[in-house]
Structure 1
Amino acid sequence: MKTQVKALVVGGGAVGTSIAYHLARAGWQDVMLLERDELTSGSTWHAAGLLPLFNMSYATTHIHQYSVEFYKTLEAETGLNAGFSIVGNLRMAQTQARMDEYMVYATTAETCGVPYEWMTPAQIKERWPLVNTEDLKGAIYHPTDGYINPADVTMAMAKGARQRGVMIERKWQADGFEWKGDHWDVTCTKMVEKGGNLVPGDEQIVISAEHVVTASGNHAQRTAKMLGIKMPAIPVEHQFIVTEPDPALVEYRKNGGEEHPVLRDADAKWYVREERGGWILGPYERNAPARFEYGVPDSFRADLFPLDLERIEEEYMSMIHRLPSSETVGLKDDFNGPICYTPDGNPLVGPAPGLRNMWLAEGFSFGITAAGGTGYYLAQMMVDGEAEIDMASLDPKRYGQEWMTTEYAARKNEECYEHVYILHHPDEEREACRPLRTGPAYDRQKARGAQFGCVNGFERPNYFGPLDAPDSFDHNARSFRRGGWWDYARAEAEAVRNAAGLIDATAFTKHVVKGPGATQFLDWFTCNKLPRVGRINLTYALTDAGTTRTEYTIVRLAEDEYYLVSAGAWGAYDGDYLRKAAADKAGEFGYIEIQDVTTQWGVFAIAGPKSRDILNEVIKDADPSTALSNKRFPWLSCREIELGMCPVRAIRVAYTGELGWELHHPIEMQTYLFDLLEKAGEKHGMKLVGARAQNWLRQEKSYRAFGNELGRDATPLEADLPRFVDLEKDFHGKDAMVAKGVRSKCVTVLIDGPADADPWGREALYVNGEKVGRLTSGGFSVAFGQSIGMGYVKPELAVEGQKLQVRMFDKLWDARITCDSPYDPKNEVIRKDG
């Protein structure tokens, strides 16, 4: 057994096996996979083997689509049949809201190249007469989908990996990880059988690996403890039952009837597929408990939990309603096993927080579907430095180490399981474990009708609804079209354009970078010129591949001290990258100190034509009338000011594109400052404004958003931001960025869309019936009175006036590319003097 390898993969389920295979296929030699028991002995063995392509996530859809196509190739390569039955996937809808969900989802499928068809109840009944369609509105059908044998596909990938030189070692458990500066020493123990249990034996070895990947499935909490990190991958019980043969189904197939597709009745919360003349029912019921919060017992191997039929009675009865012939069929077998989840349902794929060359592939609730694609894209990240798609939405650091807890993960994972088939509104906000992180002004905002969203664990107002709204108002306001919140957001956006709005931006990520090496480091780390003392610049940190890794507003406080502000949703993600980059360059540039000050500073953004008038009423200055003038406080500058008794680091910038300031203040003074500004703004028509209105307003200014227009699949030049790139200097990722050229280009579009809906930012763009791009943001423009969006198109089409069409609710709507920053393109409003 080798003790020195290039890459060590820990975990022999479908995911780990795929990663080992794809690392070898990408050209890495000396790849080893360790499995503590037998291959597939974790959740893989009792998985139902479904391959659901339905997913609202752009990255996850690509991963699932790759898996489906990849699995079809394995038999030709390995000689092993993976048991792939391409029977299609029929996702049925009982309500129009569910059909709206499918139409919104279909736009993501379209941009990713996933084929789909629409079916009426009559078409379903004609094709599969055993299905009761009397209460259906319709369905979406994936003809390339189906199901696969989880053990067979894993063994096929394992054989393919061995053929490519991968070493697979069973009955070896990883018991310790130690970073040695340029490699990991992994202590491994030989596992032995004892009384039916698998226990550590006396034999131990240390394997040195340049890279380690953990794909430990249900054992993720044990892995996290050994690595000294937190990750919210905790299993939840999942039951499915297998019936005896159904005589009606047997007769139907005997008479030439085609195999049923995988049936999904989302409104009934279950899937069903054929199994040897009978049916497999898999429900996603309420109250399924999390398990193994603190680790898997040594006695638990390929084991199951007792079935809880009462918990799934409602789903079982609804299967009988949908397939009446199943009513008299007995139960043949049952399964209740652990399936790992994360709070948002997406797995944790990417670099481990704070660690070098340690990669996570954990928390797979749809592990068979995701295994192939995860191996492919993670191998790209490890071998090439970046994947061809933006994997940020799966990054393990989206859950901050400072606030993630076991209790949070367990309760949120239970909620996520329950929500598998609950309507996935793009504007949904789930309720479990909230509120958790709140600013001091939270109660005041809630009393004024705030309906909150959750960003990096922080509560942030999405919009301000009616003061007498019940607690369920936000839930009732959701829609796939214009929800109940839409009129409130419109009024807030209009207030910013016509008077003033106050926005709570406390969730912004904030870092201080200082020290003798700070200036040289940041000059190398970011692509724009560094600002002068007292000024600010917008800039980007790039990946090794030259794409956009992080967006920063940099405030220069002193010659060697900088205040960096980045997206609130990406705190740990940004901080980890920043600290690792600084550590890499400390020897070259000198001492660099980095402090995460996110929770020390609150932020209010005040914006609108009346914002200066409001601040003038509370500013304490020798000459209040000129304190905020262009001469004393120009656009894109920073000053320390006093508002009443509150010291404020004021930055003259506004994400809404209006005259405005960001007011960074000591968090302990937030309620005082909120009251002060609210009172001063009353006579000027100031409204409290939430994130949804702000999102609309920033699109009117063509301001790109990280995670939407900005990400690891596009360069700043492709985002059409050359003014923020200084090609005269050397910076990280420059050569790779230039070499890529401009493959697609970011544009802003105005849309003549439906009267009751706006785009969500995932829709396909067309010219003359040809797909030419996709939206990355969408909303409504109060300035232009119509839908607006931002997205990417072929470079030759990125010209003002170019006519497009946008797919919304299965129809094409006319759109046109407008100029960059269609609202106030010359920035006259934002520079307004006074």
Structure 2
Amino acid sequence: MADLPNKAKVVVIGGGVVGASCLYHLAKKGWSDCVLLEKNELTAGSTWHAAGNVPSFSTSWAIMNMQRYSIDLYARLGEEVDYPMNYHQTGSIRLAHSKERMQEFERAKGWGKNQGMDLEILSVEEIKERYPFIETHDLEGALYDPNDGDIDPAQITQALAKGARDMGAKVIRFCPATGVSQDGEGWIVHTDKGDIACDYVVNSAGYYAQRVGEWFKPYGGRTVPMMVMSHQYVLTEEIPEIEAWSKANGCKKLPLLRDVDVSYYFRQEKHGFNIGPYEPNCKAEWAESGEAIPEDFSFQLWSDDLDRIGDIVADSMERVPLAATAGISQIINGPIPYAPDGMPLIGPMPGVKNAFECCVFTFGIAQGGGAGKVLAEWVIDGGTEWDMWAVDPRRYTDYTDHDYCVAKGMEVYGHEYAMHFPHHEWPAGRDKKLSPVHEKVKALGGQMGAYNGWERANWFAKPGDDTSEEATQTWNRNGPWAVRVKEECEAVRDACGVLDLPGFTRLRVSGAGADEWLRGFVTGGLPKVGRMNLVYVADDRGRILTEFSCIRLEEDSFVLITAATAQWHDGELVRNALPEGLECCETTTERDALLVAGPQSREVLSGLTDADLSLPWLSHQHCTVAGQKAFLIRVSFTGELGWEVHAENEAIPAIYDALLEAGAKPFGMYALNALRIEKGYRAWKGDLSTDYSMLEGGLERFVTFDKPQEFPGKAALLAERQQGRKKAFVQLIVDAGEADAPYMAPIWHEGQIVGEVTSGTWGYRVNASVALAMVRAELAVPGTELEVEIYGERCRAVVQPDAPMWDPENERLWA
């Protein structure tokens, strides 16, 4: 056993497959002076009892990237590190009972194709050909993944650990970490065997990640948003027919089955079966008030609870009747950690410098390989190859209390294979953050959605509208919301609309030298006093980190406004870069905003305010509205004449009521999304992400190359400008059917994938299906005909001119 060193570059806490992968990838990138600490033996936590399935399928683009990488890594790792592994790439068949499920599979097939994978759609007859023991009478079809399969979790963990050791990293077993202390910019990790100083710490402690996370709270950290589920799977006795089939087929294993509409996986295990249900009647462990995880729950399981999963197991045996001929040999019941959305936490630890999280993995075996790659990039490079916001720990903020995490974790587990329809809102864990007019908005018919915990109206229903959860479970645009969203867009187009928008992230930066610092922080120029503009921050590669509305109050006083979901991401981005002597004050929760937009918005406001409504586009002023102190900004994300009204929370109800009484019509987030896409306005972490550079994103006008300040990404962008961008932002009109182009829908040209959709919807002002997209640069020419793949159907699309599709001269906006 290796001795505990006094110092290391990185200390990884936790010796499951994910921790081992972190160590391996850190060493692979050249940081061999790294140490992994494990309180027991490697794999002692969830890795030990994991089923070991390794799919590529995901409903998240980022997760699919990670899982694809894991599959590629595992296929070569045994030979690379000289460690034998049982890795069976059997392929998998994911069954569909409905048209909607087949649409989901078509979308996944397109994603896979764009990532270089060969996923296939199977007919019912083809399912039977590949799996002779299955009943198919009630199926619509299936998705086939040739690279799916299963791997021995212990072997892959040991192989990663061996590979890391061979490159010089250390694995210290039976050495529990007991706490941390900050040491300047670095850390001291305390253990029963002594202390180890390091530059960086990684929390990869599995279902102990929340306990480890508490050590960092004195240094600015927060409670890790997670809970633990009890997950069971059933192993049958061996079946002669399976053994005979395997021998007759060169000792192959049957493809892995997943009946996602019933909610289980079904895998050949030796010559029997492994049946893994995700039951709605699920159970959270260690979740009651005051109930604590045991000090050491290594290599332990709970007693089985077959009653909870019996119906699903019985259904699986009807699907494959051969399984019913065998008895049950064992039931595994062990802990699996869950984040509120079922996806892991990988990236910077919120609020804590030089500390990272790579934990809370529901599917740690499938994602472990890719997770180690992503974590190593975060630590060493300060950013990742792929945009990984979907798993960034900062996507959660202060609303993720214990009750929320338990409620959402159980909801996700009980709907593990559920389809994530674009207009469906999950009901658990709601009403965490409410605007001052929340009850008024609901009384007006507001159908709410959660945005960084803030409740906002997605659309406004009228009496008789179907607002049931079932009504939203469609990929198509024409649900019960469609006619109302059309009316809301038309109200903004023809009259005046008002949208309550709580949760804007507001960062006030001030102090002597704020102007000079900010010029070196953003890619472009700054507004004059009394004005505002958009500014962007790039990373060292010139890729898009974030977008701010920059409001200049005084010579050295600015307010940076950004998306609600970006609160912790952008707050850290600013605070970590801020030099000594400057101050950053956040007023996100103390204020609310109302968007007032439409050709009659000046008329509506004129009777309520003492503001000068003749001030031009991108101006701002302090004023009163409805007798309340307010801050008025002449800007509109709708593309119509409009203002944002910002005010203290207690002032908002009077202002909102006055606007409604003056004739403003309430509108919601669905309408706002349609309106902004028609104008070509980008949204953060959809159209604006680190997958694209500033130049690829069509944002060169926001880059000032000749300013004296050396802003991040300047050198990379200069080189890209000289060499030419690889991709380009375009606006498309799509000949879509009943569904609009979803996020990351593949774009085809002459039989090849040439790009992807970043936003898509129906444009009610232009009366067409519209999309924002990234395509190969040479195709970004107005009039170019492309094809957008929408749930398996390739639809003609035409590249539009660079000007907005709606009001291309901005005459309405600047009126």
Distance 1:299 1:709, change over 3 A: closer
Question: 2:533 matched to 1:540?
Answer: no
Question: 2:671 matched to 1:693?
Answer: yes
For 2:68 and 2:421, how far apart are their aligned partners in 1? Answer: 22
Q: Is the 8 A contact 1:220 1:234 kept in 2?
A: no
Q: Is the 8 A contact 1:19 1:374 kept in 2?
A: yes
Q: Is the 8 A contact 1:57 1:108 kept in 2?
A: no
Distance 1:18 1:295, change over 3 A: farther
For 1:178 and 1:10, how far apart are their aligned partners in 2? Answer: 14
From 200, 204, 210, give the equivalent of 1:215: 204
2:713 is matched with 733
- Aligned-partner residue type, residue 732 of structure 2: V
For 2:512 and 2:470, how far apart are their aligned partners in 1? Answer: 51
- Aligned-partner residue type, residue 651 of structure 1: I
2:258 is matched with 264
Q: Is the 8 A contact 1:478 1:484 kept in 2?
A: no
From 358, 362, 376, give the equivalent of 2:359: 362
1:326 is matched with 323
2:523 is matched with 527
1:197 is matched with none
After superposition, give the CA deviation of every residue in 1:404-427 in whole Å (9 maximum; x if it has no partner). 212211221111111211222133
Q: How does 1:125-164 map to 2 (within 5 A)?
A: 125-164=128-167
1:478 is matched with 473
For 1:78 and 1:694, how far apart are their aligned partners in 2? Answer: 53
Query: How far does residue 740 in structure 1 lie from its aligned partner after superposition?
Result: 4.4
After superposition, give the CA deviation of every residue in 1:163-192 in whole Å (9 maximum; x if it has no partner). 111111101111121221232111111xxx
For 1:787 and 1:116, how far apart are their aligned partners in 2? Answer: 27
- Aligned-partner residue type, residue 394 of structure 2: K
Q: Is the 8 A contact 1:4 1:209 kept in 2?
A: yes
Question: 2:723 matched to 1:759?
Answer: no
2:651 is matched with 669
Distance 1:453 1:107, change over 3 A: farther
Q: Give the match's secondary structure for 2:83.
A: coil
For 2:22 and 2:431, how far apart are their aligned partners in 1? Answer: 37
From 620, 627, 630, give the equivalent of 2:610: 620
For 1:135 and 1:242, how far apart are their aligned partners in 2? Answer: 26
Distance 1:74 1:131, change over 3 A: same
Question: 2:513 matched to 1:513?
Answer: no
From 229, 250, 256, give the equivalent of 1:236: 229
Question: 2:583 matched to 1:593?
Answer: yes
For 1:278 and 1:732, how far apart are their aligned partners in 2? Answer: 57
- Aligned-partner residue type, residue 751 of structure 1: V
Q: Is the 8 A contact 1:221 1:295 kept in 2?
A: no
Q: Is the 8 A contact 2:339 2:360 kept in 1?
A: yes
Query: How far does residue 217 in structure 1 lie from its aligned partner after superposition?
Result: 0.3
1:420 is matched with 416
- Aligned-partner residue type, residue 242 of structure 1: L
For 2:240 and 2:459, how far apart are their aligned partners in 1? Answer: 55
Question: What's the TM-score once normalised by structure 1's chain length?
Answer: 0.93
Query: How far does residue 478 in structure 1 lie from its aligned partner after superposition?
Result: 3.0
- Aligned-partner residue type, residue 119 of structure 1: L
Q: Is the 8 A contact 2:424 2:472 kept in 1?
A: no
Query: How far does residue 118 in structure 1 lie from its aligned partner after superposition?
Result: 0.8
For 2:55 and 2:130, how far apart are their aligned partners in 1? Answer: 21
Q: Is the 8 A contact 1:761 1:790 kept in 2?
A: no
Query: How far does residue 321 in structure 1 lie from its aligned partner after superposition?
Result: 1.6
For 1:80 and 1:571, how far apart are their aligned partners in 2? Answer: 44
For 1:167 and 1:699, how far apart are their aligned partners in 2? Answer: 51
Q: How does 1:715-726 map to 2 (within 5 A)?
A: 715-726=693-704
2:295 is matched with 298
2:402 is matched with 406
- Aligned-partner residue type, residue 326 of structure 2: V
Question: 2:628 matched to 1:646?
Answer: yes
Query: How far does residue 388 in structure 1 lie from its aligned partner after superposition?
Result: 1.3
Q: Is the 8 A contact 1:78 1:159 kept in 2?
A: yes
The runs of 5 or more residues in structure 1 that have no matched partner are 190-203, 622-626
Q: Is the 8 A contact 2:766 2:805 kept in 1?
A: no
Structure 1 window deviating more from structure 2 (612-621 vs 36-45): it is 612-621
Q: Give the match's secondary structure for 2:134.
A: coil
Query: How far does residue 215 in structure 1 lie from its aligned partner after superposition?
Result: 0.6
From 726, 733, 738, give the equivalent of 1:750: 733
- Aligned-partner residue type, residue 583 of structure 2: E
For 2:41 and 2:535, how far apart are their aligned partners in 1? Answer: 49
Q: Give the match's secondary structure for 1:28.
A: coil
Question: 2:51 matched to 1:48?
Answer: yes
For 1:464 and 1:82, how far apart are their aligned partners in 2? Answer: 56
2:799 is matched with 817
Q: Give the match's secondary structure for 1:599.
A: coil
- Aligned-partner residue type, residue 267 of structure 2: R
Question: What's the TM-score once normalised by structure 2's chain length?
Answer: 0.95
Structure 1 window deviating more from structure 2 (18-27 vs 376-385): it is 376-385
Q: Is the 8 A contact 2:267 2:274 kept in 1?
A: yes
Q: Give the match's secondary structure for 2:215.
A: helix
Q: How does 1:304-343 map to 2 (within 5 A)?
A: 304-343=301-340
Query: How far does residue 255 in structure 1 lie from its aligned partner after superposition?
Result: 4.3
1:607 is matched with 597
Question: 2:16 matched to 1:16?
Answer: no
Structure 1 window deviating more from structure 2 (475-484 vs 426-435): it is 475-484
Q: What percentage of aligned pairs have identical amino acids?
A: 37
Root mean square deviation of aligned Cα:
1.6
For 1:544 and 1:178, how far apart are their aligned partners in 2? Answer: 31
From 268, 272, 290, give the equivalent of 1:278: 272
For 2:462 and 2:165, how far apart are their aligned partners in 1? Answer: 63
For 1:488 and 1:110, how far apart are their aligned partners in 2? Answer: 36
- Aligned-partner residue type, residue 682 of structure 2: R
Q: Is the 8 A contact 2:340 2:405 kept in 1?
A: yes
1:31 is matched with 34
For 1:39 and 1:646, how far apart are their aligned partners in 2? Answer: 62
- Aligned-partner residue type, residue 473 of structure 2: R
1:201 is matched with none
Q: How does 1:159-174 map to 2 (within 5 A)?
A: 159-174=162-177
For 2:686 and 2:414, how far apart are their aligned partners in 1? Answer: 27
After superposition, give the CA deviation of every residue in 1:779-812 in whole Å (9 maximum; x if it has no partner). 1112322211111111111121111111112121
After superposition, give the CA deviation of every residue in 1:601-639 in whole Å (9 maximum; x if it has no partner). 111111111111111222236xxxxx312xxx1101101
Aligned positions, number:
797
- Aligned-partner residue type, residue 83 of structure 1: N
For 2:493 and 2:167, how far apart are their aligned partners in 1? Answer: 61
Q: Is the 8 A contact 2:66 2:371 kept in 1?
A: yes
The runs of 5 or more residues in structure 2 that have no matched partner are none
Query: How far does residue 500 in structure 1 lie from its aligned partner after superposition?
Result: 2.1
Q: Is the 8 A contact 2:95 2:260 kept in 1?
A: yes
Q: Is the 8 A contact 1:188 1:205 kept in 2?
A: yes
From 714, 728, 741, give the equivalent of 2:692: 714
Distance 1:136 1:129, change over 3 A: same
Query: How far does residue 110 in structure 1 lie from its aligned partner after superposition?
Result: 2.7
For 1:739 and 1:61, how far apart are their aligned partners in 2? Answer: 31
- Aligned-partner residue type, residue 702 of structure 1: G
- Aligned-partner residue type, residue 718 of structure 1: E
For 1:264 and 1:768, how far apart are their aligned partners in 2? Answer: 34
1:831 is matched with 814
Q: Is the 8 A contact 2:423 2:472 kept in 1?
A: no
For 1:113 and 1:658, how far apart are their aligned partners in 2? Answer: 41
2:179 is matched with 176
